[in-house]
Amino acid sequence: MNGFKWSPLPRHMLWTLLLLPMTVWSQTLPTATQVAAQIQLGWNLGNTLEAQCGETAWGNPAVTQQFINSVKAAGFNAIRIPAAWDCHANQSTMTLDATWMARVKQVVDYAHGQGMVVILNIHWDGGWLEEHPLYSYQTAVNQKQNAYWTQIATTFRDYNERLLFAGTNEVHADYGTPTAEHIAVQQSYNQTFVNAVRATGGNNASRTLVVQTYNTNAWHGLNYFSMPTDTAANRLIVEIHHYDPYDFTLNQSGSCLYWGAPYPSQSACTWAQEAYHDDLFAQVKAKWVSQNIPVIIGEYGVATRPNLSLPARQYYLEYVNRAAASNGIKTFYWDNGVQPSQTNGFAIFDRNSGAVVDQGVLDAVKRGAGIGTPVNYALTVTKAGAGSGTVTSTPSGINCGATCSASYSTGTSVTLTATAASGSTFSGWSGACSGTSACTVSMTVARAVTATFSSTATTFPLAVTKAGTGSGTVTASPSGINCGSTCTANYASGTSVTLTAAAASGSAFAGWSGACTGTSTCTLSMTAARNVTATFNTSGTGGTCSNPISFTNNTGNFNTTGAVCYRTSQTINGWGCSNFDGRTLTVGGQARTCGQLPLTRSADGYYYFSVTGGTYSWASLYAW
């Protein structure tokens, strides 16, 4: 105690302290950025306190502490409470009903009392505020806006930073582009809200408040919105809602029943795919979040309807949450209490028991927000086509090759690269990717990709040579050779090529040599370069001679002083001679030199060889 002696204050000083304004005792609450940082995942108590004009008017039961406990236990740590006030007010004095105020306070306490962040708003409320951003209504609406928020803020003045007020909901004249009048009047409602709350003092002097863009539309916010002036610095949050694309999320007769990259063939959605969300939320971040103005998506969701793809619905909800989280935007799922088995259903919970009735949606929004144990999804690669190659992944896991499937944690971005082997080319992706560039997939669901490799078209030349004393043409099937003029062509490896010889008038086709033999068509498999010779000889009846000497194969050696005639009935494919001294050999009635065969068979079925008289030192004539 260090010798300090306590003495009571004089009575007049005690009274002075007691009569000081309450603002003396108020706290300076954390900034909007600090408050928003406490929000992990938000949920809407929809179609309940905003029901006209009683909590159960739209079919949901009265809220209980047990039910709110179930919402928190499921993973939501923030709750948005849409509320109606106008039908609970005296329209002459604008005084809110005390019983209704007490009930709203009780529901707020169900959540706030267990550590949740709570947003309390003025919702549709019959449209008195929401549907009239018009000069003709501006004064009257602002009077009521000021009166209601003065009473609401006073009731909750002593609550800590985890209670936020949201001044309006979806204020709009219509769903088109706003006029200058619409923007000016709508933003005056935001300003009146801020002024009214601040004027109540206490913790409300520094409480974080939520202000809305026109129709809570992100694009209208980016294009037209201005922040209200505020006596407290850094204590405002911007609210948008997100139901893009409408034909998938809310249109009960819309043809868009699938959404996103996993469902390209089924989707009839013509806009607002993944890239749209990435771009929109990045612009929201740049305009507000990066300037220390937090942003909440106060509502989002996909209403159920016949034939809607539930896996696609879950994929959408996960993607919206992930894209929002990556840009620092907080989300509040819209839950109207209608069961998912019904049309226009959003419910995650049974409003009576608190049981989870749509685990798929709950898991999807939590995965997207990064809450809970990461989920792994399989990525499978299949190779197709006549060629060969490998597919590898970044991050590692797939080397296909041998390892063609791997699991990745939810949200992982995996890039697949295809490398063709020698003699092959990569033709492209199918399945979860298309095109021929690297394939990048986000592992928010199991994915399957096919990589097609084609065999490179190796070609080999086929050359035709014509020989003999006659003439003719050689043609090819498939086309390429018409020899004639074109006697060489290239064919893809493995191609079967058939050559056909046609003798010209006055000539006869004598046969093939080289890669083919015989006199029928020549068929080749182009697995290498090929050369073929086609021999055409002059046709005729052939000559004869008297007293011919018949022979088979080699005639042997001979000498003669006179003309000698030989004949053979063998089929002659070629012939040879040796050591002739240059004298003429007459074959088939025509003068020949060695090698000018095959011959033309004479009418009697023989080939005739006539040698002029003379002495040969050594000579032979043979056939085969």
Which tens digits make up the pLDDT trace of 28-59?
A: 999 999 999 999 999 999 999 999 999 999 99
Position 445 scores a pLDDT of: 75
Q: Which DSSP string do the residues of 166-231 spell out, in sequence order?
A: E--S---SSSSPPPHHHHHHHHHHHHHHHHHHHHT-GGGGS--EEEEEEEEEHHHHHHH--PPP-S
At residue 568 the predicted structure's pLDDT band, cuts being 50, 70 and 90, is confident
Calculate what percentage of the chain has a pLDDT beyond 90. Answer: 68
Pairing mode of beta strands 163-166, 117-121 = parallel
Beta strands in 493-563 (DSSP E): 496-503, 507-514, 522-525, 530-538, 549-550
User: What pTM does this model have?
Assistant: 0.61
Fold of 32-369: TIM Barrel (3.20.20)
Are 575 and 621 spatial neighbours (Cβ–Cβ below 8 Å)? yes
Instruction: For residues 526-542, give the mean pLDDT.
Output: 79
Are 475 and 500 spatial neighbours (Cβ–Cβ below 8 Å)? yes
Q: Is the pLDDT of residue 539 over 80?
A: no
At residue 263 the predicted structure's pLDDT band, cuts being 50, 70 and 90, is confident
- Could you report the per-residue pLDDT of 450-462, keeping only the tens digit for each? 999 988 788 899 9
Position 12 scores a pLDDT of: 41
Position 21 scores a pLDDT of: 38
What b-and-e string marks burial along 355-391, b requiring 16 or more CB atoms within 10 Å of the CB?
ebbbebbbbbbbbbbebeeebebebbbebebebebbb
Which comes out higher in pLDDT, residue 355 or 545?
Answer: 355
Position 540 scores a pLDDT of: 45
Q: Which DSSP state fits 422? A: T
Instruction: For residues 214-242, give the mean pLDDT.
Output: 98
Report the range of poorest mean pLDDT among 131-145, 219-233, 536-550: 536-550
Instruction: For residues 412-418, give the mean pLDDT.
Output: 92
Position 9 scores a pLDDT of: 41
Q: Is 274 a catalytic residue?
A: no
Q: Is the pLDDT of residue 438 over 70?
A: yes
Which comes out higher in pLDDT, residue 299 or 536?
Answer: 299
Q: Which DSSP string do the residues of 64-107 spell out, in sequence order?
A: -HHHHHHHHHTT--EEEE----GGGEETTTTEEPHHHHHHHHHH
Q: Is the pLDDT of residue 595 over 80?
A: no
Q: Which of 55, 239, 299, 318 is catalytic?
A: 299
Q: Residue 407 is encoded by which pair of tokens?
A: 């699991």
Domain residue spans of the chain:
32-369, 376-455, 459-538, 541-624
Q: Is the pLDDT of residue 304 over 90?
A: yes
Are 456 and 423 spatial neighbours (Cβ–Cβ below 8 Å)? yes
Which comes out higher in pLDDT, residue 479 or 494?
Answer: 479
Q: Is 299 a catalytic residue?
A: yes
User: Under the phi-then-psi rule, with left for phi > 0, alpha for psi from -120 to 50, and beta for the rest, what region is 546?
Assistant: beta
Instruction: For residues 598-605, give the mean pLDDT.
Output: 64
Q: Which of 170, 239, 274, 318 is catalytic?
A: 170
- Could you report the per-residue pLDDT of 183-211, keeping only the tens digit for each? 999 999 999 999 999 999 999 999 999 99
